[in-house]
Structure 1
């Protein structure tokens, strides 16, 4: 493991103001977030705060908040978030070296909405490939060294088979000493054996099994009988 626990300290805050109004952020302030496996998935509805968490984790580790690899030291003009500025870690010796030395830092922050620009900045020529192929190029070319890899909804650009390839990359990173934190809506990705799953929502954060995930239950029922859902949504 590179990072054992993430936490943040704020002397005082307005619970009605973002991001302190988000339940998972308040739980992070109160308890921190402990990592128990090399791959951690954060799963929750839109607006639950999972993207806020992964962005702050990347920023706290020293990765560019805009997205990109350890090779770039804040190449964008985007500054750190208020939570990212306060993010701290309990880490193993290797993780502490990475956080205190830019030359020792290894990792990548992949965020769906800025991945195209980040890939272009790092020489992947996105215009010559599809969106999904650009993501896969980043996985193949940048997800190599043992380090901290933070992903925000990577499945957004990937097909079923490409998601399976991503699972293979994440498994390899974990086996070779890397650590992954991934925000996702995908029941496919979260089925990775040995991964830790944290469900994010109005309750804050809680650990669940893959079988207990709401998205898994909904996908099973939808694929078994789409009409059971669609009759409430589309007009007859």
Structure 2
């Protein structure tokens, strides 16, 4: 199920002269078409993918620090003004569940859950789990399906096995009418079959294949040429 079909940058290009509008990826962004239930946004650090995913989440009604739409806590304003110019084009369908998982501020979300919300919906206190376990607890206990789920670098706390676990859980939720928009560096998550992958780069945002992603190419090259790469980096082998 697709709930958001397009992300549009409404700011006139002649006014994209200061941060965050002058980030190379944002200054050239006009729109992103979302045709798939799972969409990945990837790119090097500093290219603007987290800034974009944050603006999308705020426009979808989520707390800038993360959580569901009824989370209204605030610890520190760190989000950019980009959300003021981003427009989401919705389909005729309406989601009944939703969550913004922002790895950078998930500790704050876990604290808010312990203080204000029923821990039973999350499988218990998230602070009593490891960082990775708390992510998986959220995926398996809180996300119910028929949902819009926006994730920013969810792999940051997850082992390879846990990322595979996450892939399976995404598939389960897609089968129950859910849409995912995920900013990630993970070649494992981006391997989700049939997903669209948008690469954020200095010349804008473009749709690419899995094999074209830098994460796939560099991981494959390193695994196949480990000693050569380490030698080129200055290691004495």
Calculate the TM-score normalised by the size of structure 2. 0.88
C-alpha distance after superposition, 1:36-79 (max 9, x if no partner): 1010001100011110110000001010001112332x221555
* SS at structure 2 position matched to 1:71: coil
Residue 76 (structure 1) aligned to one of 74, 77, 82: 74
1:88 paired to 2:87: yes
**C-alpha distance in 2 between matches for 1:23 and 1:120:** 35
RMSD between superposed Cα atoms in Å? 1.8
Q: How far apart are residue 149 of structure 1 and its match?
A: 0.7
Q: 1:192 deviation in Å?
A: 0.3
How many residues align? The count is 224
TM-score between the two structures when normalised by the length of structure 1: 0.88
The structure-2 alpha-carbon separation of the partners of 1:78 and 1:127, relative to structure 1 and needing over 3 Å to count, comes to closer
Matched with 1:51 is 50
1:111 maps to 2:89? no
| Kept in 1: contact 2:145–2:174 (CA 8 A) | no
The whole-number CA distance in structure 1 between the counterparts of 2:147 and 2:28 is 26
Runs (4+) off by over 4 Å: 77-80
Extract unaligned runs of 5+ from structure 1.
99-103
Q: Matches of 1:207 and 1:14 in 2, distance apart?
A: 23
Q: Which residue of structure 2 aligns with residue 138 of structure 1?
A: 138
Shift, 1:24, TM fit: 2.1
Q: 2:111 aligns with which of 99, 117, 120?
A: 120
Match of 2:15 among 13, 16, 36: 13
Residues 1:186 and 2:177 aligned together? no
Between 1:115-124 and 1:163-172, the stretch displaced more is 115-124
Determine the C-alpha separation between the residues in 1 that align with 2:177 and 2:53.
20
C-alpha distance in 2 between matches for 1:112 and 1:140? 17
